[in-house]
Amino acid sequence: MGVPFERRGARFDDAIEAMRKVWSGDVVEHSSDFLDWTGFKSHPLPLQKPFPIVIGGSKGKAFSRVAKYGQGWYAPTAAVDQLKPLLGELGEACAAEGRDVSTVEISCMWVPAMEGPEVVKQYEDLGVSRLIVPLQALGAGNPIENLDRLGNDVLAKLAD
């Protein structure tokens, strides 16, 4: 996109600032190194206010971006033990922004074959709102059958 790799974070931050202006419904003026909008107005507007921004990552300024801009954080983890140390960093970034970490909705990947249903409670206790099961983690074969098996063999146990 013509932006040096080293400036990707600044471009990301600027885009969020610009989008927030646009989502206000007002006529927008936004001039930066990356965007130049004059008399810009967008339709339709998001129904949810603030529009939920989910930011993923755990390196560089990811946590400070989540604390400043995000309603949610996608944790790039595949196990509950990988998530635990990252939560401290998220908490510190939120504290630095004067934000309660509990206002950040946390999503992360869960591979039932690696951890099993017994860890779901651990994720919940850590504040995770959403577990995402990658389709390929359910194995080869018919994806519909794999999803049925996940529902019947794994998720049904969680409802008990």
CA distance 57 to 156: 31
pTM, to two decimals: 0.84
- Around 156, how many Cα atoms within 13 Å sit in the side-chain half-sphere? 7
| 77 & 153 share domain | yes
Show which of 50, 65, 84 is a domain's final residue: 50
Give 8-17 pLDDT, tens digit per residue: 889 999 999 9
Give 50-75 pLDDT, tens digit per residue: 788 999 999 989 999 999 999 999 99
Total of domains in the chain: 2
| 59 & 34 share domain | no
DSSP count for the chain of H helices, then E strands: 7, 6
One-letter amino acid identity for 118? E
Give 99-124 pLDDT, tens digit per residue: 999 999 999 999 888 888 889 999 99
User: What integer pLDDT is reported at residue 46 of this predicted model?
Assistant: 87
Give ∠ CA 63-69-71 in degrees, rounded to 5.
90
Non-local (6+) Cβ contacts of 84 within 8 A are 126
Structural domain that includes position 31: 1-50
Hey, is 82 helix, strand or coil? helix
More confident residue, 159 or 120: 120
| 121 & 57 share domain | yes
Mean pLDDT of the chain: 90
CA distance 61 to 83: 17
